[in-house]
Chains A and B, each alone.
Chain A
Amino acid sequence: MIDSSYLMPCLVVFALLCGLRARIDVYDAFVRGAKEGLLTLLEMTPYLCAALTATALLRQTGVMDALTNLLSPLLAHLSIPDAAAGVVLLRPLSGSAALAAVRDVIAQTGADSRAARFSCVISGASETIFFTGSLYMGAAGIRKAGYTIAAAMIAYMAGILAAAICV
């Protein structure tokens, strides 16, 4: 197994070398990019407020537990950790709700638990299917999604199965 702690140093050195080779002002480029990243986060915050309010309510009132218990036999069959059920269900619907759910899983089971790692892999490897679909179809004036939503959902499930095997 490759030691993943080398990844970040390698990435930083790689970016530096690319910047020096292209003779750009690395410092300026970093600052501009950092600003962009912070603005993205700022724009995301209200959405995350809404999502965390909703998931906190569902967790407090026991709805989340009931849902997990309901799905638990199916999840066990696919060797998906119970705690990650919320992430799996919310990911195709909303990026911020899924991120809120990932945060919950990490807060409850620790950042290195299988459930937490599985949740992160699922979130990182997929996209808000319905939002992206409507955005792109809207841009092209397409009214009928045809097979695309079904194909994307099946592909999402393939991703989940792959994650269940390799996490």
Chain B
Amino acid sequence: MSDTTQPTRKGQEFEQTLDASDKTVASFEHESRGFVDRLQHALHSNPTLVPVIVLIGAVAVFGLIAGGKFFSAFNLSLIIQQVSIIGILAAAQSLIVLTAGIDLSVAAIMVLMAVIAGNLSVYMGVPPVLGLLASFVGGTAAGLMNGLLVTRVKLPPFITTLGTWSIFYALNLWLSGAQSIRSQDIDANASILKFFGNNIALGGARITYGSILMVAVFAVLWYMLNKTAWGRHVYAIGDDKDSAELAGIRTDRTLLSVYALSGFVCAIAAWASIGRVGSISPQAFYEGNLQSITAVVIGGISLFGGRGSIMGALFGALIVGVFQSGLRLAGVDVLWQVFAIGWLIIFAVAIDQWIRKVSA
């Protein structure tokens, strides 16, 4: 131990030639980089750029095709209003996808919670505020159930939520008797359930409270994911769960919180959906699960976890809304809208793969 202060030893004999070795680090010729290369690198360091560019491009193109009808304040605010529910679901979905999971049950949780809030407040005479509270507790519990199955029973998220999707859907049909709760009944007994359907008129624009809520949900989640330790842990788990565990993160506990939060956000979407639709229909949003995944994928969040910004999902949802609105105003048949969204998904994933090929 006496030699602790000894200077660094000379190294081994075969290493002596290192001093004379070429010290330049392997590098690429930067001059030869074309526009495409630079674009690829820019996108790699900032994956949310893709949906932003597509969104701006889509707005410009549809503005040219459909003209004033598309560009009116009314239509633009309508698009935001139309995507608000899927947008909030996409926020919930993003949380799960960032952990390298996938949640097929988000819309099922949402509809179930809308039915629970409606049944309690409209038919059973519970104060509407308590009905809403019950739906928030229920949504969180439903998310927690997914989380427990994933972390404790160690089921893959895909299988877990495929199962709970059916379970929640069946519960929803049972509780609602497959009957919608009519708009008039909600107005008479629990008008607060439709709170997010109210709007502020701003010139020609009709900005609903639901649209504002969607933006607020994204803002809060963005803050949590980017400015808190919890958010860093979510990304680390999605990146490499075993490494995160070894680095000292309680991964299962964090995953549970992610699933519970996702369920809570679905309950927020439930409240907003009552305002948006006007009534509570157990059959509504049957495709919501997949639409939320569409928004997330188009938004540039990697399905392999740990990469992408939650704001991408907001842009993804808006892109879908812009395409649907623009194609409708241009007089294109609905089936071609679905066709276009399909290509958009494939385009988004292809771009994601292309970006991944760069190493900074």
Tell me, yes or no, whether A binds B: no
Q: Which residues of A come within 8 Å of B, CB atoms?
A: none
